Amino acid sequence: MGDAMKVVKSLYFQILCAVFLGVLVGHFWAQQAIALKPLGDAFIKLIKMMIAPVVFCTIVTGIAGMSDKRSLGRLLSKTMLLFLGLTLISLCIGLAAVYLFQPGAGMNIDPTRLNTQGLSQYTDSAAKLGVVEFFMHIIPETFIGAFNKGEVLPVLFIAVLCGFALSSLGERGKPVLEVLESASQMVFKIFSYLMRFAPVGAFGALAFTVGQYGITSLGALAKLIMTLYVACGFFVCVVLGGICRANGFSLWKLLRYLREEFLVVLGTSSTEPVMPRMLEKLQALGCKKSVVGLVLPTGYSFNLDGTAIYLSLAAIFIAQACNIELSAGQIVTMLAIMLLSSKGAAGVTGSGFVALASTLTVIHDIPLAGLALLIGIDRFMSEARALTSLASNAVATVVIALSEQACDRQVLLRTLDGQPLVDQAAAADDSPAAALASKLG
């Protein structure tokens, strides 16, 4: 009886029930379900308001506590190289999947007859994307301005500067560091309160999605959706699974450990609501705060592997549907542009769709009007993008931490196995791994 009550009270069980109820309500009471949209929106807004202070406190205290500042350049270089490699693999997997399954073949669409109403919000955002604009966007207008919009990259930029400045002050900076440590504990405590509303947010968001778009509306493009999910599944199981095995830990155990976060992402179609909790739980695996605080937020902008798979797959799908043959040179050019556009759309609403619009705006070989084929089902495809990107960033963070000798392998393996930590040295460590593992694991 006690074990049953423990399961019922667990966040995982509550979110699972909320997701199931959301699908039922959305399917059988569509009009009422559409009215539940504010529940999901409110939950996401509540969590997003905490992202900036969580990222700032985590990165500043992490960098200020690093004993070897010279290792930061190596860490960033290694992180960006890994992200670049994963993005390239993702683009190629999406390309292989769309040519293998041919989801657009035989549709014989005339792009001039497509209804492009509703595309303007995405094409307008896409027109503003560019390499220069992207990097200029990282620099906020003012110091406080970095926190206004809740975007990760400007906060990351300010936090790195503050971390180095605080570290260079030595003893004079310790009072400020202690304040930020206390502030970090406070914001994580606030976040733990807000996460109690995760089932309500997941229920409202999923009920709205199913009620608004309808499960039966997926029939015509079911093959495209299936192709995306197969491609994402292949990337997670084969690519990420292989990386995990090569580094001596189990992908499946890591996914099981993060199951609550994946359910929240499934319900909300966004990875942002789980970022603060991901920072906590990855530290609980024995990874140092300085590495987790830098790699994970960076991955949220530079390692969108689910979006990368979607980009190459969706672009070729439109070409197939419109009977357009692309040469090898055109495909290579398209992939090169997608390598940049997948990063440039980070933080933009509907980032995957905006990145696709940005790519088609540049290459001109595939009609921009073809986006009209995807707009109705994009919400159902966004779950696959978000779940894949979250899994990739979790794996990348652990792998980078292990390669930097910044992860206690014993803590990692025992926590993933669900075993209590018995290593007294780990318990005495300054990092919060042991305490967090006992609270979250």
Return averaged pLDDT per consecutive 10 residues of the chain, 441 residues in all: 65 79 85 86 81 83 72 84 94 94 82 58 50 71 78 80 84 86 86 83 81 63 88 96 95 93 83 86 91 88 89 90 86 85 56 74 77 74 89 95 92 88 45 47 42
Distance CA 165, CA 170 (A): 9
Q: How much is the pLDDT for 174?
A: 84
DSSP string of 349-361? TTHHHHHHHHHHH
Tell me the C-alpha to C-alpha distance, in Å, between residue 98 and each of 156, 170, 217, 274, 287. 36, 55, 21, 30, 37
Q: At what angle do helices 378-403 and 289-302 cross, to 10 degrees?
A: 150
| Helix locations, 303-350, DSSP H | 305-321, 328-344
Amino acid at 310: Y
Answer for the pair 56, 273: CB distance below 8 angstroms, yes or no. Answer: no
CATH classification of the domain holding 272:
1.10.3860.10
Q: Tell me which residue of 283, 286, 307 sits closest to 296, measured CA to CA.
A: 283
Q: How much is the pLDDT for 432?
A: 47
Q: Tell me which residue of 36, 40, 46 sits closest to 192, measured CA to CA.
A: 46
* Domain around 306: 2-440
Q: How much is the pLDDT for 257?
A: 94
Count up the domains in the chain and report the number: 1
Q: How much is the pLDDT for 377?
A: 73
